[in-house]
Amino acid sequence: MKRNTEHLKQKIREILDFPTPGIKFKDITPLLEDPESFKEAIDGLVDFFRDIKINKVVGIDARGFLLASAVAYLLNAGMVIVRKKGKLPHQTIVREHDLEYGRGTLEIHVDAIKKGERVLVIDDVLATGGTADAAVKLVEHLGGDVVGLGFLLELSYFPGREKLKNYNINSLIIY
């Protein structure tokens, strides 16, 4: 189902030169602060995947957590967090990745995903695809089957969708 999301775009603030010079950061906090917009965004993400059996929803550090937990709740699935390196207390596996403005490292608990579990990966933004790809690789390393990726917004002028072309990708808002 294709939704009209132009009014949701109006809730996203653009911050120039954050976190580094030349970046046009999409700040989703105004959308999250508005109850109707937040509800509509979560419902929109859930609608993409409602008819797919999902065991776990992975939220990517940090804004992805905010979306993924609500999506997991509505899909009656477990919630798993993928964090920046050094933030998880138990044994982890680690994956490095490229960002629009540098490099990053993500990790997941070694027991977070069981072999054969059907996993949905949720994050706030799809840009270069490096962060989402790293999360997918972590899930697959643990034996999970990535059945979809959902994003609040997608920056279509970056190659993220192409990088993840072998997966079911749905973005609520596209720039």
Domain boundaries along the sequence of the chain: 51-174
**pLDDT one-digit tens code per residue, 131-169:** 999 999 999 999 999 999 999 999 999 999 999 999 999
Token duo for residue 106: 């993500």
Q: Is residue 162 annotated as part of the catalytic site, yes or no?
A: no
User: What's the whole-number mean pLDDT along residues 90-118?
Assistant: 91
Of 40, 83, 95, 100, the active-site residue reads 100
Instruction: Check if CATH label 3.40.50.720 holds for domain 51-174.
Output: no
User: What's the whole-number mean pLDDT along residues 71-90?
Assistant: 97
Q: Is residue 100 annotated as part of the catalytic site, yes or no?
A: yes
In this predicted structure, what is the pLDDT of residue 63? 95
Residue corresponding to tokens 């002028």: 157
Residue from 151, 83, 85, 162 nearest 123 by CA: 151
The rounded distance, in Å, linking the Cα atoms of 71 and 83 is 18
Residue 101 has pLDDT above 70, yes or no: no
- What is the SS3 assignment for 82? strand
**Cis peptide bond upstream of 35, omega within 30:** no
Higher pLDDT, 20 or 43: 43
In this predicted structure, what is the pLDDT of residue 23? 87
Residue 97 has pLDDT above 80, yes or no: yes
In this predicted structure, what is the pLDDT of residue 3? 73
